[in-house]
Amino acid sequence: MALGLGTMTILKRGQEEATEILRTALDEGIVHFDTADVYANGAVESLIGQTFSPEDRSRLFLASKGGNRMNATGTGWTWDPSYDYLKQACFESLNRLETSYLDLYYVHGGTMEDDLDASIRAMKDLQQEGRIKEYGLSSLRPNVINYWLENSDFSYLMTPYSLLDRRIEELLPRLQERNIKLVARGPLAKGLLTTESTSRLQSVDRFEQYDKEQLEQVLTTLQAYPLPAMALQAIDQQADIVLPGASSVSQLQANLKAMRETLSAEEIAHVLSLLPVHTYTEHR
């Protein structure tokens, strides 16, 4: 089981619930905790730092992201992947997380209009300084991903990957050739691939490549199988880390149960054969 915990929505129900989510996750064997400096304007990083003790640190794999500069009021941010800002952002994340190093640090997005070489150089220098052990890219843009593949030695790619969005499979051979670990964010597709899929569908006009009618048809097919077990385990076959979020302990427990449910390789392969695989050229 390669289950991590995404923390973007962890404070949705308050600090007490969020703390319990973190402690429960660790107690249940989850060690990969993913966060970012912009999650609740740094409050999520601070919570993680306050929740886990120095004794816990050796068990944890802490990942964070930088590149979004918060404005003075803390109500929004602008994109800044510059060399100086990435180094500053990493230092500030380390302080909030109360750790001397990160196991993994991502550039949090990016476009081809950026100075990508400067961003990559910042990550390499942070690695050489011992502030981060490995660096990665969090992106859904194929042109940016390809540039990093050709011009850096990054170790992790975080990108959307679910039964409803399988575009990254187009690049899997290149990632595997380079031994780059794939981190699947959004594996439950905003709740559409859970037991709440029917209610979640009411508020969704479209999802990535699907309009609402197509989405309804796909979800009807998938509802014949156990969700979210099928959703998480199918992605687990290709991704190195499956990274659903949780805003309650009950959601976390549901994800853990889903990953432990018994599904055969044949069942998973059959479901995958029923679903389309779009390419990046079809939907950018």
Contact (Cβ atoms closer than 8 angstroms) between residue 215 and residue 192: yes
Secondary structure (3-state) at 158: strand
End-to-end Cα, the chain, rounded Å: 31
Q: Measure CA 282 to chain center.
A: 23
Burial per residue of 232-251, b for 16 or more beta-carbon CB atoms within 10 angstroms, e otherwise = bbbbbebbbbbbbbbbbbeb
For the record, the structure tokens of 204 come out as: 């969704």
In angstroms, the CA 50 to CA 98 distance is 8
In angstroms, the CA 219 to CA 201 distance is 9
Distances (CA, A) of 127 to 72, 95, 119, 180, 223: 29, 17, 13, 17, 45
Q: Which of 39, 105, 135, 147 is catalytic?
A: 39
From the list 178, 202, 193, the residue with the least C-alpha distance to 235 is: 193
Does 105 qualify as catalytic in the annotation?
A: no
Query: Which residues on neighbouring strands pair with residue 242, listed in sequence order?
Result: 3, 184
Catalytic residues: 39
